[in-house]
Structure 1
Amino acid sequence: MIKKKANIAVFISGRGTNLKALILRSKKKKCNYKVAYVISNKKNADGLKIAKKNKILTKILSRSFLKTEQKKLAKILINKNIKFICLAGFMKILSPYFINFFKNKIINIHPSLLPKYKGLNTHIRALKAKEKFSGCTIHYVSKKLDSGKIIAKKKVKILKKDSLKKLEKRVLKEENKLYPLVIEKLVRS
Structure 2
Amino acid sequence: MPGKTCNVVVLLSGTGSNLQALLDSCKPDGPVRICAVISNRADAYGLERAKAAGIATAVLEHQGFTGREAFDTALMALIDGFTPDLVVLAGFMRILSGGFVRHYQGRLLNIHPSLLPKYKGLHTHQRALEAGDGEHGCSVHFVTEELDGGPLVVQAVVAVAAVDTVQSLAARVHHQEHQIYPLAVRWFAEGRLRLGEHGALLDGQPLAASGHLIRP
Whether TM exceeds 0.5 here: the answer is: yes
Give the letter for the 1:47 counterpart: G
Distance 2:40 2:168 in 1: 27
Tell me what 1:129 maps to.
Answer: 131
Distance 2:104 2:43 in 1: 27
Please tell me whether residue 178 in structure 1 is matched to residue 180 in structure 2. Answer: yes
User: 1:100-144 CA distances to partner (integer Å, 9 max, x unpaired)?
Assistant: 111111100000000000000000000000000000000011111
Tell me what 1:102 maps to.
Answer: 104
Give the letter for the 2:10 counterpart: V
**Alpha carbons 2:6, 2:84 under 8 Å: kept:** yes
Distance 1:130 1:172 in 2: 20
Tell me what 2:52 maps to.
Answer: 53
Distance 2:62 2:162 in 1: 40
Q: 1:83 aligns with which of 56, 65, 85?
A: 85
Give the letter for the 1:19 counterpart: L
Give the letter for the 2:18 counterpart: N
Distance 2:188 2:71 in 1: 28
3-state DSSP of counterpart to 1:82: coil
What is the aligned length? 186
User: 1:155-177 CA distances to partner (integer Å, 9 max, x unpaired)?
Assistant: 00001111110000000000001
Shift of 1:70: 2.9
Q: Give the unaligned 5+ runs of structure 1.
A: none
> Runs (4+) of structure 1 moved beyond 6 Å?
none
3-state DSSP of counterpart to 1:34: strand
Distance 2:91 2:127 in 1: 18
Shift of 1:78: 3.0
Q: Give the unaligned 5+ runs of structure 2.
A: 192-216
Tell me what 1:73 maps to.
Answer: 75
Give the letter for the 1:60 counterpart: V
| TM-score, with length taken from structure 1 | 0.93
RMSD, aligned CA:
1.5
Distance 2:13 2:80 in 1: 22
**Alpha carbons 1:25, 1:31 under 8 Å: kept:** no
Tell me what 1:24 maps to.
Answer: 24
